[in-house]
Chain A
């Protein structure tokens, strides 16, 4: 998994694009605060980081594509989040100081329970018979879905 943070260039991550193409599962929910920065979980996709030093003019400074993320916790300058079964930690101070390297990111594999397949279904399917999809493929994990209309949604692809 690559972590995308802007260097000189601006990442091609525009919330407009995300919303237009992936409306089916966008859920902005969990929020964290680190110093003057606001962190927002884009459910299953990643984490937006906004410079919030001017609350009337917040600016997104980075997007961390972390497939499967649903919640965040911030402790001693580090961001901790889940990525499906993995625990991911990100050194936020490195991002703030613009000295981010691959060492600033770590993925600890298989720390959490396997998510149930139904947890990753789009909301409109969660309480239908599709809920009963067999979940016995020990080596498989749901990473997205294809809607009946043909729309394909892969979790975590919003940085494409």
Chain B
């Protein structure tokens, strides 16, 4: 993903990728890429989200897009829903006041339908674990049940601040400014498995 274009590389020779396709995109600067299902890409930009399909020959075509206010916006998705967080801060040029978690029904990929819009203070990364959505925000980590179209807040782990997170099986990997922690967050209790950072890094 470049600023306003997406390139497709062939990995036929893994250590010598070659470009096979390029598509220019409309809208804001591109930021995040989320591979979805077998042959789809969800691309977050500073002005919206684009759903693209990858053909067997490596060409990309746009299926649909949604636009929102100018902000930063990571994205994750499960089989039927797409979750976008919007954040406005100094990292996002010209962003307006906008701090939200947006949920879209993407059962019909060509027509994403917004089903929820939740105000949340400075959301950063987000991660899905089955029917649970974790959202890192200003004060910590929120846990939502996303079985239905409207997320239900289950827990708010205020001690778990981080920059970004990913799900790794049963646990979460969180990155902070100067440390990486692995955590199991369950039923309101966050158990830190390990913390790698200042003074704590085990070197073989």
User: Do A and B belong to a common assembly?
Assistant: yes
Question: Which residues of A pack against B, CB within 8 Å?
Answer: 6, 10, 13-16, 19, 23, 26-31, 33, 38, 40, 50-52, 55-61, 75-78, 80, 87, 89, 91, 103-106, 108, 111-113, 126-127
Residues of B within 8 A of A29 (CB): 163-164, 175
5 smallest beta-carbon distances between A and B, as pairs? A106-B15, A15-B201, A55-B193, A59-B202, A78-B14
A-B contact pairs, 12 of them (CB 8 A): A10-B204, A15-B196, A16-B201, A26-B177, A26-B178, A28-B177, A31-B166, A33-B173, A40-B175, A77-B14, A78-B14, A89-B17
Chain A, Cβ-Cβ closest to B2? A113
* Partner pick for A55 among B90, B182, B199, CB 8 A cutoff: B182
Report Cα–Cα, A6/B203, bound state, in Å.
11
**Contact call A30/B17, Cβ cutoff below 8 A:** no
Q: Would A28 and B178 be within 8 Å (CB), given that A15-B197, A59-B203, A127-B90 are in contact?
A: yes
**Contact call B2/A31, Cβ cutoff below 8 A:** no
Instruction: Determine if B198 is an interface residue (Cβ-Cβ < 8 Å).
Output: yes
**Contact call B203/A89, Cβ cutoff below 8 A:** no
Instruction: Determine if B27 is an interface residue (Cβ-Cβ < 8 Å).
Output: no
Instruction: Determine if B107 is an interface residue (Cβ-Cβ < 8 Å).
Output: no
Report Cα–Cα, A65/B145, bound state, in Å.
40
Question: Which residues of B pack against A, CB within 8 Å?
Answer: 2-3, 9, 11, 14-17, 19, 90, 163-164, 166, 168, 171, 173, 175-180, 182, 193-194, 196-199, 201-204
| Least distance between A27 CB and chain B CB atoms (Å) | 7
Residues of B within 8 A of A13 (CB): 203
Report Cα–Cα, A106/B198, bound state, in Å.
31
Report Cα–Cα, A52/B173, bound state, in Å.
11
**Contact call A31/B164, Cβ cutoff below 8 A:** yes
Q: Would A31 and B196 be within 8 Å (CB), given that A55-B182, A89-B15 are in contact?
A: no
Report Cα–Cα, A38/B167, bound state, in Å.
12
Residues of A within 8 A of B177 (CB): 26-28
* Partner pick for A108 among B17, B166, B179, B194, CB 8 A cutoff: B17
Residues of B within 8 A of A89 (CB): 14-17
Residues of B within 8 A of A56 (CB): 193-194
Kindly list 14 other residue pairs between chains A and B, CB separation below 8 angstroms, not including A29-B164, A33-B168.
A15-B196, A15-B197, A29-B175, A30-B164, A31-B164, A31-B175, A38-B180, A55-B193, A57-B202, A58-B196, A76-B11, A78-B15, A80-B17, A103-B15
